[in-house]
Amino acid sequence: MTQADTELTHLLPQLQALECELHLDKTAADLPRLQALLHPDFREIGYSGRSYQREEMLALLIAAGAAPAPSLHQVQARNFQAQLLVPGLVLLNYESAHCDAQGRLHRHSRRSSLWRLGTQGWQMQFHQGTPCADWAAANGSPAE
């Protein structure tokens, strides 16, 4: 096992937890926490293909988190993989799906995030969500 492999073994759970924290309604309602998680140069290419800059994304997340009935859906994420690109920069890939009130999964996507280590700790610098086949179709098995 290389030093990079050892480092990733320790980083993957930490970055996975930070990534999943961004899926939570309570995080969307917490501007200081969002500012700590999103790098000042943050960019996103969303599920729709639209590009967002940090300030746009902060405004969208805060609006969703402040809604009387939160508009964010529960997100299920799986198959996390991390790749150390250079010291302090990690590519995190995973699959996700939104879960509706009846427990049905929809909006399946493959996601990629770049996490950069800086003076404020790990921050997401880039994120992309790309639509993909639902998990049942991809696995040839019933939906989870």
- The answer to whether position 143 is within a domain reads no
Model confidence pLDDT, tens digit, residues 6-63 = 778 889 999 999 999 999 888 999 999 999 999 999 999 999 999 999 999 999 999 8
Q: Which backbone phi and psi does 84 adopt, to 5 degrees? A: -80, 110
CA dihedral 23, 19, 91, 3 (to 10 degrees): -160
Residue 58: in which H helix or E strand, if any? helix 54-66
> Does position 81 have pLDDT exceeding 50, yes or no?
yes
Are residues 4 and 11 in contact, defined by beta-carbon separation less than 8 angstroms? no
- The answer to whether position 43 is within a domain reads yes
- The answer to whether position 121 is within a domain reads yes
- The answer to whether position 64 is within a domain reads yes
How many Å apart are CA 82 and CA 105, to the nearest integer?
24
Q: Average the pLDDT over 88-112 and give the result.
A: 92
Domain hosting residue 108, numbered range = 10-135
Report pLDDT for 144. 39
101: confidence class by pLDDT, cuts 50, 70, 90: confident
Q: Average the pLDDT over 95-107 and give the result.
A: 87
More confident residue, 70 or 120: 120
Smallest Cα–Cα separation from 131: which of 113, 109, 98, 111?
109
Q: What CATH number is given to the structural domain containing 20?
A: 3.10.450.50
- The answer to whether position 88 is within a domain reads yes
- The answer to whether position 142 is within a domain reads no
Query: Within 10 Å of residue 92's Cβ, how many Cβ atoms?
Result: 21
**What percentage of the chain has pLDDT greater than the value 90?**
65
Are residues 114 and 91 in contact, defined by beta-carbon separation less than 8 angstroms? yes
Strands (E), 4-73: 38-45, 51-53
- The answer to whether position 144 is within a domain reads no
Structure tokens that stand for 43 in this block: 């960019």
Residue 89: in which H helix or E strand, if any? strand 89-99
Report pLDDT for 27. 93
72: confidence class by pLDDT, cuts 50, 70, 90: low
Number of domains the chain contains: 1
In the chain, what are the helix, strand and coil shares in percent, each to the nearest 5?
35, 40, 25
- The answer to whether position 141 is within a domain reads no
- Three-class SS state of 78: strand
> pTM of the prediction?
0.87
